[in-house]
Amino acid sequence: MTAYAETEEHFAGSNKLFISVWVWLLVLTGFEDFLGYVQLPVIYMLVILMGASIVKAALIVAYFMHLRFERLNLVLTIVPAVVVCICLLLVFFPDSFRARQLRYSGPPPAGESH
């Protein structure tokens, strides 16, 4: 059996492509900073920031970590399992709102916004 590594160096993607991905990552970071500067309500901030972060993570995994150029077998083994496990972790969230209700904080404090 021939080890595949000696027979093929499957390196796809040009430096130009990687630099453009890097520029996009910087643009998205700048956009996130801009949101921090204008300060939307926290729920909008959370949704938009998480959306931007997922796009950034996808760019890093696809191009920098080269997953886009790997076989579909590998992609389907890695990505869905991680996504499902992370979604399962979110099952705890309703309990955090319940825990907040259990706390006695006296009269509503002036500085509390969220």
CA pair distance 72, 65, nearest whole angstrom: 14
CA 36 to chain centroid: 17
Alpha helix (H) ranges present in the chain? 4-7, 15-38, 42-59, 72-89, 93-102
Instruction: By CB under 8 A, tell whether 68 contacts another protein.
Output: no
CA distance 50 to 28: 11
Does position 20 interact with another protein (CB under 8 A)? The reply is no
Establish if 32 lies at the interface with another protein (CB under 8 A). Answer: yes
Cα 35 from Cα 33, distance rounded (Å): 5
Smallest gap from Cβ 18 to another protein, in A, equals: 5
Residue 16 within binding range of another protein, rule CB under 8 A: no
| Residue 40 binds to another protein (criterion: CB under 8 A) | no
Instruction: Tell me if 84 contacts another protein by CB under 8 A.
Output: no
If one counts every other C-beta atom within 10 angstroms of the C-beta of residue 63, the result is 20
Interface ranges with another protein (CB under 8 A):
1, 3-5, 9-11, 13, 15, 18-19, 22, 25-26, 29, 32-33, 35-37, 39, 42, 45-46, 49-50, 52-53, 56-57, 60-61, 64-66, 70-71, 73-74, 77-78, 81-82, 85-86, 89-90, 92-93, 95-100, 103, 105-106, 109-114
